[in-house]
Structure 1
Amino acid sequence: MKNKFLGMGLLSLLSLSAWAQQGRDAGKAYPAIGSKVQVYTTADNSQLRLSRTGELTFSESKQPLETEFSVFVEPQKTFQTILGIGGAITDASAEVFAKLSPAKQKELLNAYYSKDGIDYSLIRTTIHSSDFASGSYTYIKEGDKSLKSFSIDHDKKYRIPLLKQALKTAGSDVTFYVSPWSPPAFMKDNKNMLKGGKLLPEYYQTWADYYVKFIKAYEKEGMPIWGLSVQNEPMATQTWESCIYTAEEERDFLKNYLGPTIRKELGDKKIIVWDHNRDLMNQRANVIFGDPEASKYAWGMGFHWYETWAGGKPMFDNVRKVAEAYPDKKLIFTEGCVEKFDATRFQYWPNGERYGEQMINDFNNGTVGWTDWNILLDEKGGPNHVGNFCFAPVHVDTATGEIIYTPSYYYIGHFSKFVRPEAKRVSTVASRSQLLSTSFLNPDGKMVTVVMNGSDNNITYNLIIGTSKTVAEIPAHAIQTLIY
């Protein structure tokens, strides 16, 4: 399906009322009677893709009935401040991007990073290779303990050019962070970048110095880096680049090597621990955040959504429990994608709904940022040098040059386009399980409420804020963003 760049002048439509422009006064009603609500909808079995589908008006609210569907928003109750929403620029994404014509490259950049697109405000990239690349590589000659051969020339062919264009298109609102998948083979006990293994203690300082060299080299290229994670998926022995740390090992590497080295050489870069699934995040938080010397170096915790590999459901409550136990630490979703690529399912609607469900629950449980995995892959779900082909929100048919926008792109866009950095999450709850909802107060004073209907039926619902209400209709298997 072709992206229309979400035309229709969406941004101009968001300047809605003097009430919003003047900001929110805690002593006034939220919102005033007669205020307008702009509605944007994406729905299955329709042409609606982040489409403006109506303008509603707030009227006086009365006691809702049990037979009605309602979404209740209480702007007086605010929670975490949002860092951003975005995705990862991997080698795979950059290699596919390089195959596009200049016009299609501009289309892709605008689709993700411009105000006319879905306006991503987070970017993640890898420290040397991950599985989503044409092959494994590092920035040094194998065995170079002194790191004298360190060079990021490899990345200057594909990845850095795309990163620079994305950062330029996104502007000052974007936050950029990095993650490693494995140390070089000689630094590990299995002498292999792939298939797990552990960092040898004699290379703890060398590996910490490697992060510093990478960040300094990227920043010399004009790409400011906000922060880094210690290790991608430190409990997963993968067929691709991977490295195992127990909670105690990650704690001690952070406390004794990485934390002091980053602080000394780079100052206040934010360090993210765990960077793995929700299942074990609480134990990892207890071990690392429970140690004052390690905790002082940790900005917060990253997590992924793949805990369902074991057959269970997403462990959303684990996110909330870390937030409750360690309120001084931030939580950021660092990776998720739809696994097991199948070219017949580019428009498979449940893939988009998975994003909507996960994002709403993660934000409602305290997450400050949400980062998708690859922004772009080819028609085979790659390139991936170990055959771990997956979905991205956008694919390219490299034979025809066609850009394919999947439902996931639009579902993410219902958040990333409208929820801006520095927004505050606002108390929101739905009265029926068929609806999921979350709300945010943007820095410009506008409120954003996202409502998702995963049921097979159209639903009419009340949006109730204080003494005001409006009535909206959401189609079956749809997501809506309401701005007021």
Structure 2
Amino acid sequence: MLFENKNMGPIVILVLINMSAALAYNCLPRDYGHGSIVCVCNTQHCDAIPRVQKVEATSYIVYTSDKAGQRFNITTNKFQRVKRDNKRGYFSKQGCKQQTLKDYPMSRRKHYRSVKKLWNITQKTETETKEILINQDVTYQSILGFGGAFTDAAGINIKSLNKDLQNKLMRSYFSDDGIEYNLGRVPIGGTDFSPRGYTYLDTDEDEDYTEDLLLTTFQLAKEDYSYKIPLIQEALKLRNNLLLLGSGWTAPKWMKENRKYNGNFAYLRKEMYEPWANYFIKFLDAYRNHNITFWGITTGNEIYFAMGLFKIPAVLWTPEEIKDWIRLYFGPAIKNSSYSNIKILTNEDNRPTLTHSLDTVFSEKQNLEYIDGVAIHWYFDHDFNAYILDETHHKFPDKFLLYTEACNGMAPLKPVLLGAWERAEKYAKNIFEDLNHWVVGWMDWNMALDLGGGPSYIENFVDSSIIVNATGQEFYKQPMYYAIGHFSKFIPRDSVRIYSSQCNSEVEVVAFKKPDGGVVIVILNTSDSIQRRSIVDAVKGQISLELSSHSITTVLYW
């Protein structure tokens, strides 16, 4: 049976309709009673999304996924032309709420004023069809990409499948007929999603206080050889422009004041500042020996979050301490090595930490030269604090902002909810918000977990975009997978965000100009009703859309 949740009455009719819609677009649906469906991949079947083919200039393509069961439903249509001599009047009576002047950098405010004067945008009533206005001449940040993490847990789950299913899962993420991930985060040593705590300088007897300041005993762990390296090599075959970001969780116990892997007040001992910097170089060397090179490296995972009483392995820093560590040890170690071109990202913690930490770290002018970007996690993001991203961008405009971790299902929530559309919407809303506030890319956490949301040796179980059922030899693509895919599949690297008018809290919009000249517009409808929108691009014309309730839509044209 395709559906394990057999509710009676009208719900059965609705589910069957959804099943038909999903099957028509190559998804094998299953309803677990959490609001929407998962798409099942097994030995006989796994849905695919062919790479987008360019259409003629008079046409556009629409991809839709929704709570009702559509997954990348494809339609094409023709533009409706807007007469050039009527554009002034057309724009004066149509339109959504415009972005404010402060949303534009100083260099573009003059252009903004001219656009606003021409279009004279006003807010429409709820009963009218709102317009989404696109201006390809107003540009913002360039996009780096989208991806997920090669954790031990992901590797354990992927490797629990037969070879055919392993290949299907990897293709689902990285191939041209998948969602085309082009970023991968690689933990340096163990994380909370490892089968055990470990670093690359542990002894077999786990002698906590054996010090090796010259790192002569450094060696990769069995998890690297069994899970990370093989899957990274496979991903690189599928996506040759994959960029890898290395991120460290914990230093060896003997380097830390608390002599533990976890981050409970786990400061690094001052005499270990230099060995800890050199540890990263050793990691890059070891992976290079397996023909794996890194685009970027961070100064450490959640270095401030570790202040609390948490079991997650970590090294704790104060902003003053990491400022000095970067300037005196980490920055020079990287720049004086054969990895001098690698991108260095700092912070790698939650949004509220940005203001104070970056002001402190960048108060050292040398650190401005060492640091290329800022890594951010999503766990304390709220609509009211998105301004922090704008402030950070305007303070440090040459430092890119990259989201490097997100996941649903953290305690006290149930870790895994198969088919939970609200978790897809939560992902999508965060990606919309981030991209509209100068962020250049977004990365999911574990690429695959089991039905319980693990393994995690500290039992920090969460949800994942793909859930593996090893016993049944199948895996499930969650709605979250498709939410990310509406961005990662269609917004290639070096796309540039362009102006799109913002309508209301129920319909969110972000737009991009691709390197090949195409335009990508992603729209999120979180309301319980159909929302009617018209996309108006002065260069191209008008597109009329009916956005199904609780849907994500991607529109493409050239």
Q: Within 2, Cα distance between the matches of 1:42 and 1:5?
A: 17
Return the match for 2:449 from 360, 364, 377.
Answer: 377
What's the % identity of the aligned pairs? 29
What does residue 40 of structure 2 align with? 2
Give the letter for the 1:37 counterpart. Answer: Y
Return the match for 1:190 from 249, 258, 267.
Answer: 258
Post-superposition shift, 1:229? 0.5
Q: Within 1, Cα distance between the matches of 2:471 and 2:384?
A: 37
Please give the residue correspondences for 1:170-185 in structure 2 after superposition, counting only pairs within 5 Å: 170-171=239-240, 173-185=241-253
Please give the residue correspondences for 1:190-229 in structure 2 after superposition, counting only pairs within 5 Å: 190-196=258-264, 197-229=266-298
Return the match for 1:121 from 182, 188, 202.
Answer: 182
What does residue 54 of structure 2 align with? 15
Give the letter for the 2:55 counterpart. Answer: L
The farther-off stretch of 338-347 and 255-264 is: 338-347
Q: Within 2, Cα distance between the matches of 1:376 and 1:110?
A: 13
What does residue 148 of structure 1 align with? 216
- Does 2:461 match 1:393? no
What does residue 25 of structure 2 align with? none
Give the letter for the 1:68 counterpart. Answer: T
Q: Within 2, Cα distance between the matches of 1:180 and 1:228?
A: 9
Over the aligned positions, Cα root-mean-square deviation in angstroms equals: 1.6
Return the match for 2:77 from 30, 40, 55.
Answer: 55
Return the match for 1:272 from 345, 360, 381.
Answer: 345
What does residue 28 of structure 2 align with? none
Task: Give the secondary-structure state (helix, strand or coil) at the position aligned to 2:336.
Answer: helix
Alpha carbons 1:69, 1:430 under 8 Å: kept: no
Segments of structure 1 that go 5 or more residues without pairing to the other structure are 20-34
Post-superposition shift, 1:290? 3.0
What does residue 454 of structure 1 align with? 526
What does residue 36 of structure 1 align with? 59
Alpha carbons 1:236, 1:243 under 8 Å: kept: no
Please list the CA deviations of residues 257-293 of structure 1 after superposition, one character each: whole Å capped at 9, or x if unmatched.
0000001112111111100100121211211223211
What does residue 30 of structure 2 align with? none
Task: Give the secondary-structure state (helix, strand or coil) at the position aligned to 1:430.
Answer: coil
Q: Within 1, Cα distance between the matches of 2:507 and 2:139?
A: 21
Alpha carbons 2:448, 2:465 under 8 Å: kept: yes
Task: Give the secondary-structure state (helix, strand or coil) at the position aligned to 1:239.
Answer: coil
Alpha carbons 2:150, 2:186 under 8 Å: kept: yes
Post-superposition shift, 1:143? 2.6
Alpha carbons 1:303, 1:334 under 8 Å: kept: yes
- Does 2:500 match 1:423? no
Alpha carbons 2:59, 2:76 under 8 Å: kept: no
Post-superposition shift, 1:344? 6.4
What does residue 82 of structure 1 align with? 143
What does residue 477 of structure 2 align with? 405
Alpha carbons 1:6, 1:116 under 8 Å: kept: no
Q: Within 2, Cα distance between the matches of 1:429 and 1:444?
A: 23
Q: Within 1, Cα distance between the matches of 2:77 and 2:178?
A: 21
How many residues matched?
461
Alpha carbons 1:14, 1:38 under 8 Å: kept: no
What does residue 35 of structure 2 align with? none
Post-superposition shift, 1:178? 0.7
The farther-off stretch of 195-204 and 408-417 is: 195-204
Q: Within 1, Cα distance between the matches of 2:177 and 2:74?
A: 13
Please list the CA deviations of residues 157-182 of structure 1 after superposition, one character each: whole Å capped at 9, or x if unmatched.
222111111121112x2111110111
Give the letter for the 2:63 counterpart. Answer: Y
Distance 1:59 1:407, change over 3 A: same
Alpha carbons 2:416, 2:453 under 8 Å: kept: no
Q: Within 2, Cα distance between the matches of 1:413 and 1:459?
A: 22
Task: Give the secondary-structure state (helix, strand or coil) at the position aligned to 1:234.
Answer: coil
Task: Give the secondary-structure state (helix, strand or coil) at the position aligned to 1:296.
Answer: helix
Alpha carbons 2:511, 2:522 under 8 Å: kept: yes
What does residue 3 of structure 2 align with? none
What does residue 331 of structure 1 align with? 401
Please list the CA deviations of residues 436-455 of structure 1 after superposition, one character each: whole Å capped at 9, or x if unmatched.
01011111111100000001
- Does 2:272 match 1:234? no
Task: Give the secondary-structure state (helix, strand or coil) at the position aligned to 1:157.
Answer: helix
Q: Within 1, Cα distance between the matches of 2:185 and 2:440?
A: 15
Give the alignment's TM-score, normalised by structure 2. Answer: 0.80
Task: Give the secondary-structure state (helix, strand or coil) at the position aligned to 1:92.
Answer: helix
Please list the CA deviations of residues 94-139 of structure 1 after superposition, one character each: whole Å capped at 9, or x if unmatched.
1111111011001101100001010001000101000001001111
Alpha carbons 1:14, 1:483 under 8 Å: kept: no
Please list the CA deviations of residues 11-51 of structure 1 after superposition, one character each: whole Å capped at 9, or x if unmatched.
2x53112x5xxxxxxxxxxxxxxx211000001123x1112
Alpha carbons 1:419, 1:448 under 8 Å: kept: yes
Q: Within 2, Cα distance between the matches of 1:378 and 1:143?
A: 37
Q: Within 1, Cα distance between the matches of 2:470 and 2:140?
A: 44
Alpha carbons 1:182, 1:193 under 8 Å: kept: yes
Please list the CA deviations of residues 191-218 of structure 1 after superposition, one character each: whole Å capped at 9, or x if unmatched.
1111331011101100000000001111
Alpha carbons 1:422, 1:443 under 8 Å: kept: yes
The farther-off stretch of 459-468 and 131-140 is: 459-468
Please list the CA deviations of residues 353-398 of structure 1 after superposition, one character each: whole Å capped at 9, or x if unmatched.
0111011110110011211111111111001000000011001012
Post-superposition shift, 1:321? 1.3
Q: Within 2, Cα distance between the matches of 1:327 and 1:269?
A: 19
Q: Within 1, Cα distance between the matches of 2:499 and 2:523?
A: 13
Q: Within 2, Cα distance between the matches of 1:437 and 1:396?
A: 32
Structure 1: 4+ residue segments shifted above 3 A: 3-8
Q: Which has the larger radius of gyration?
A: 2
Please list the CA deviations of residues 231-265 of structure 1 after superposition, one character each: whole Å capped at 9, or x if unmatched.
10011232020121111111111111000000111
Segments of structure 2 that go 5 or more residues without pairing to the other structure are 1-38, 95-123, 204-209
What does residue 111 of structure 1 align with? 172
Alpha carbons 1:182, 1:243 under 8 Å: kept: yes
What does residue 7 of structure 2 align with? none
Alpha carbons 1:36, 1:58 under 8 Å: kept: no
Task: Give the secondary-structure state (helix, strand or coil) at the position aligned to 1:198.
Answer: coil
Which structure has the higher relative contact order (CA within 8 Å, separation 6+)? 1
Task: Give the secondary-structure state (helix, strand or coil) at the position aligned to 2:40.
Answer: coil
